[in-house]
Amino acid sequence: MQMTKPIEEATQDFAADLAALREDITKLTQSVTDLVRSQATSTADSMLGAIDSTRRKISDTAADAQDRVSAISSDLESTIERNPLTAIFVAIGAGILVGLLSRTRK
């Protein structure tokens, strides 16, 4: 009977160690899950911030380009109104140049 008691104690110790190991693995799994979730959230927030910043920069650049085109268009219109004859000669010259460049060479 003396042999039975140490085997029972060893079995209980083994069961207790196994239960503690299971609990440690559960805690470790939860910690890793929380860490991955935190990193994923942080990365997603960072990417959303970068996307939003890029969108704003593109929008600002497009607005600046539109303002510049509008200003150039206004300047061109007033130049044509002040110098209509020069505008006609420039248009004729541009037409001749395009015509010469677009004809086929044989």
Average pLDDT of the chain, as a whole number: 91
Please check whether residue 87 is in contact with residue 80, taking contact to mean a CB–CB distance below 8 angstroms: yes
Per-residue pLDDT, 1:
47
For residue range 59-98, list pLDDT tens digits in order: 999 999 999 999 999 999 999 999 999 999 999 999 999 9
In a domain, 85, yes or no: no
Domain presence at residue 99: no
Compare 18 and 105 and report the one with higher pLDDT.
Answer: 18
The pLDDT value recorded for residue 85 is 94
Q: Which residues contact 45 (CB under 8 A, 6 or more apart)?
A: none
Would 42 be classed as within a structural domain? Answer: yes
Give the number of domains in the chain. Answer: 1
SS3 sequence, 14-53?
HHHHHHHHHHHHHHHHHHHHHHHHHHHHHHHHHHHHHHHH
pTM of the prediction? 0.51
The predicted model gives 28-46 an average pLDDT of: 93
Instruction: Please check whether residue 101 lies inside any domain of the structure.
Output: no
Containing domain of residue 8, as a range? 4-77
Evaluate whether residue 44 is within a structural domain: yes
